[in-house]
Structure 1
Amino acid sequence: MTRFVSITSGKGGVGKTSIAVNLSMQLAQRGKRVCLIDADWGLANVNVMLRLRPQHTLEDVIVSGLSVDAIMLRNIQGVDILPGSSGSERMARLSPEQLGRLANAMQALENYDFVIIDSSSGIARNVLALSLASPEVLMVITPEPTSMTDAYALLKLLYAESYQGRVQVIVNHSRNHSVGRHSYDRFREVVEFYLKLRLPLLGLVQEDERMQKAVLKQQALSSHSPESVAARDIGSLAGQLLLEDNSIKRVDTTTFWKRYLETAGHSITSSSCDEVAASEDETPERAELEDQIELLNAQVDALISEVTHLRQASEKPSDTSVVPLDRGRRSLRSCCPERWVAELASGYEIAGEPDNSFPVYELEQPDGKVIHFACHSLDDAYENPQPQSTSS
């Protein structure tokens, strides 16, 4: 039985392939048998990153009927690598029959402790299916708002498909651990508020110029600069995965690839992965969901900007703020950051008196009435003020 771990992201350019390569090698250094699959079907990067020149790729498995064993690159710093193809439009548009042929060949991947899948970015159906089939998904984000909003959209799609596995977050390209933790907290709060999901942090990988040098030299960081900050951070990721080893669900290879075909929108029989039905047409519901995701992306981006503004404007965060317990309900809770106000209030203005100023918020109650309030302490009362006045 094998641990299948899919490494994905909402957008490209977040360092997903670098983490997949170096995490695989860190696991191999710890005595684990690891296979790395370059599953960015048409834009493979693992070959380029490690200066590999494979004679055959996964495209040859589909087109020429080669076996997985025939194309495998063995013992690349302890890791077996299944190379993908780059610049192949055919691999980017696999038919149901070709997917079935590929999945059938992949069943030969046995006797590995870990199969690490470097998937492509985005929300295409074949990409999403790899994550849906994996008991474990590592979501790579960066401190950039666009990375977080795209990762949120991908998460929403995963759980709209009733994903039953576990998703953990890796914050990459972090200036330091404090910035990385802050970025994770922002992402986690949005996910918990809107999707009602708990999203654990696997670890942080700091920005390191030696990582960039290793990429330019087409070498793994573990061999180019094993003592670098980023190498130590990725080593910590590997250590954390191994700490959880006994509690993680494993699946056999056949089960994984059958699940992949099913979640990709193709049906298969229990006896063979070669019998594939027609692909599932896009439904009106899916198109509507994609429109909702685009709108939600804009709302989340605006929310992050407003939260950042409040943090910068407030020298001393309030001890009391409005916290949504669930949809349609509002309650007060102490010791919560004032950013919750930004998520509920329609707006605010700065009111003040000599030597003192504070934000006054406007919030619509369930009965339609609008109240105005300012956040001070637990001893303050919240009253409905007269026009042009504030209460505390």
Structure 2
Amino acid sequence: MIDQAGKLRTMVDGSSAPELQAKQPKIYSILSGKGGVGKTSIAVNLGIALHKLGKRVLILDADIGMGNVNILLGEVVRYDILDALKTGISLRDIIVSSRYGIDIMMGGADLFGLEELDAEQQAGIHKSLGVLEEYDIIIIDNGAGISRQSLAFTILGDELILVTTPEPTAITDAYKVLKIVSLYKLKSSVKVVINQAHNQENADETFEKLYHTSKEFLKLKLERAGSIFSDSRVNRAVMDQVPFVVKYPTSLACKGVDAMARGMLNGESGIERVDALSRLGNRILRIFG
């Protein structure tokens, strides 16, 4: 698995293709310990928030066989990376430009078909990777849990973002992922996003649990990437297939993602303290909305 990931890393960072070295996009790999914590929603909305800040963003949906980035964006995708590997079409032809300014690329059923390609096919993929030069940021939306694909793309990313919620099961599964990252020395630090937090205290407490446990037993550095409060409008946006940062730009969830995006670009923690009036408005919406 590590060898396979090394091949992917080589293809993207251009170490075997000098023409790619002029410009390298920043790659963020997003994963979670379990499903249902809002990982894909964060990837999509974060991508749009970064686009609004002037960055050209590509989201790679690497959730093998379960990809749904295109569904959240309301876009139809005809081809994926597997098609490019098998048929020889260029990566540019499988990239879909969404109506919200970000581009998406679907992974397909198995991203490790690279091993089955002959030298000519691999050379073609290397050449077509030049399209990635056009992007400032690539966000990889991994599948939930631990698999050879998600671990490979953990290595592929420049930075790892782990999404969890305050639920005990989510925290436990998030810690399992951190154990694997530490065991295989995949990263020395991990950024953590607390999603669906009831309030700031709830988010802080959740992060502290992971932080202290990881520091004591894993020797792994955790950093806060952001806190996103529970917001009923997120589910409405999903049902409407419209990202919540677009449909509800004044929502608490949007504020959290916007702060996260600014923090990523400025090298700071993406935590934004929300005033009491905004929190009250969110509670009212949850009760009556």
For residues 223-280 of structure 1, the C-alpha deviation after alignment (integer angstroms, 9 at most, x for no partner) is 11111110110000001001119xxxxxxxxxxxxxxxxxxxxxxxxxxxxxxxxxxx
How far off is 1:68 after superposition? 0.9
**Which residue is equivalent to 2:45?**
22
- Quote the sequence identity (%): 34
- Compared CA separation, residues 33 and 71, structure 1 to 2 (3 A): same
* Distance in 1 of aligned mates of 2:57 and 2:83: 22
What SS class does the counterpart of residue 234 from structure 2 fall into? helix
The TM-score, its normalising length taken from structure 2, stands at 0.77
* Distance in 1 of aligned mates of 2:44 and 2:210: 25
**Which residue is equivalent to 1:66?**
89
**Which residue is equivalent to 1:213?**
236
The letter of the residue matching 2:182 is Y
2:162 equivalent among 128, 134, 139: 139
The higher radius of gyration belongs to 1
- Compared CA separation, residues 132 and 58, structure 1 to 2 (3 A): same
**Which residue is equivalent to 2:260?**
237
**Which residue is equivalent to 2:248?**
225
| Contact 1:137 1:165 survives alignment (8 Å) | no
Residue 190 of structure 2 is aligned to residue 190 of structure 1: no
1:44 equivalent among 55, 67, 78: 67
For residues 92-138 of structure 1, the C-alpha deviation after alignment (integer angstroms, 9 at most, x for no partner) is 77473269959745453112111111111122122101012222011
Gaps of 5+ in 2: 1-23, 269-289
For residues 334-355 of structure 1, the C-alpha deviation after alignment (integer angstroms, 9 at most, x for no partner) is xxxxxxxxxxxxxxxxxxxxxx
* Distance in 1 of aligned mates of 2:138 and 2:110: 21
| Contact 1:135 1:165 survives alignment (8 Å) | no
> How many corresponding residue pairs?
241
2:116 equivalent among 94, 97, 116: 97
What SS class does the counterpart of residue 82 from structure 1 fall into? strand
How far off is 1:199 after superposition? 0.9
Greater length-normalized contact order (CA 8 Å, ≥ 6 residues apart): 2
What SS class does the counterpart of residue 138 from structure 1 fall into? strand
The TM-score, its normalising length taken from structure 1, stands at 0.58
How far off is 1:168 after superposition? 0.6
2:76 equivalent among 53, 57, 73: 53
For residues 187-225 of structure 1, the C-alpha deviation after alignment (integer angstroms, 9 at most, x for no partner) is 112111211223111110000000110001111112111
Query: Which one has the bigger helix percentage?
Result: 2
The letter of the residue matching 1:65 is G
**Which residue is equivalent to 1:279?**
none
* Distance in 1 of aligned mates of 2:145 and 2:220: 21
**Which residue is equivalent to 2:201?**
178
**Which residue is equivalent to 2:5?**
none
The letter of the residue matching 1:155 is L
Structure 1 vs Structure 2 CA RMSD: 2.2
Residue 189 of structure 2 is aligned to residue 166 of structure 1: yes
